[in-house]
Amino acid sequence: MSASTTQAGSRATDRTGSGTGPEDRAQVLRQDRKKNRIGYNIAGLAVFVVMAFPVYWLIISSLRPNHEIRSYDQTLWPSSLTFDNFQRAVNQPNFGTAIQSSLIICGVAVLGGMLLATIAAFAIARFRFRGRKFFMIVLLAVQLLPPTAMLIPIYIQLNDLGGLNEYWGVIVIYLVSTLPFATWMIRGFVINIPPELEESAMVDGCSRMGAFWRVTFPLLAPGLAAAAIFSLITAWNEYLLAYVVLQDNDKYTLNVWLMNFTTSRGIDYGALMAASTLIAIPVVAFFLLVQKYMATGLTSGAVKG
């Protein structure tokens, strides 16, 4: 009789919502999720601070006076702000030609790379041919090679072709170095587009390539944006290959031009930081323009196929 009374009491407790009923368990789960969300937010904030601090220090150092930069007593905020560093950076010789060289080299390399990567990605995604999977593996394997490992062969080949100290030599290097990953990324977007759209356009009279350019290509905007920002960052920040290939001061890119702040009398850290800040602005601006498409590309571009 006591056992039946206990079971009846427990069932009554569950029905009234007290004890360990479904509502209590749901409340406990909500509390656990809230705690986990707070922990994730704290961890994300910590990662953001660690990653953003070098950028903050770069900008703050570009606004510090030189004597404060060289001081052993560093503070998170300068005692006084100055724009003299930016003035010295802009007045440095060959600043305008360095901007011109970087824009020409990176612009042509990115545009040419996107064109070739789009055509190659379409061929890999839509056609079945012998060695296709092996070719895709090779595309990724090429990206594993460090640029320094290919420096001597690249120098010898460009020397034989007359590409040393020429814009087109650096453009070819940047285009080829970013082409494999861009092809792989855009391929994921081509796969996600139904081929029936192209078939319908071909029924209406379009050729194979006509259907691609009129139907498929406009739908590749997220993939093209993600691949373009990757290619631009890679080309814009590259230093070693441009330094080896370009031998004339009038053709140096911005990253090579930064060597002008290192002289026999020392390093002008303030102007160097200011110049580095100015160099980063175009990439940041381009990223802000395409970041919406880039976010879509990174989350949905290479997850299928």
Domain ranges of the chain: 2-63, 88-300
- Tell me what pLDDT residue 294 has: 60
Give, for all 305 residues of the chain, the pLDDT tens digit. 444 444 444 444 444 444 456 777 777 777 777 778 888 889 989 999 999 999 999 999 999 988 888 888 888 888 888 899 999 999 988 999 999 999 999 999 999 999 999 989 988 888 888 888 888 888 888 888 877 788 889 899 999 999 899 999 999 999 998 999 899 889 888 888 888 888 888 888 888 888 888 888 888 888 888 888 889 999 999 999 999 999 888 899 999 999 989 887 888 889 999 999 999 998 888 888 877 666 555 544 444 44
- Tell me what pLDDT residue 282 has: 87
- 3-state SS class at 184: helix
The residue to which tokens 């379409």 are assigned: 122
State how far the Cα of 107 lies from the Cα of 183, in Å rounded to an integer: 18
- Tell me what pLDDT residue 98 has: 93
Q: Are strands 262-263 and 266-267 parallel, antiparallel or unpaired?
A: antiparallel
Phi and psi angles of residue 63, each rounded to the nearest 5 degrees, phi first: -105, 0
- Taking the complete model, does pTM exceed 0.85, yes or no? no
Among 228, 275, 266, 252, residue whose Cα is nearest residue 107 = 228
Exposure string over 184-194, b if 16+ CB within 10 A, otherwise e: bbbbbbbbbbe
- Tell me what pLDDT residue 17 has: 46
Describe the crossing of helices 167-192 and 221-237 by its angle, rounded to 10 degrees. 150
Contact between 24 and 17 under an 8 Å Cβ cutoff? The reply is yes
From residue 269, how far is each of 95, 121, 143, 235, 265 by CA, in Å? Answer: 17, 44, 34, 24, 12
HSE, side-chain direction, 13 A CA sphere, residue 179: 17
**CATH number, domain 88-300:** 1.10.3720.10
Burial group, residue 103, by CB count within 10 angstroms (0-12, 13-18, 19+): middle
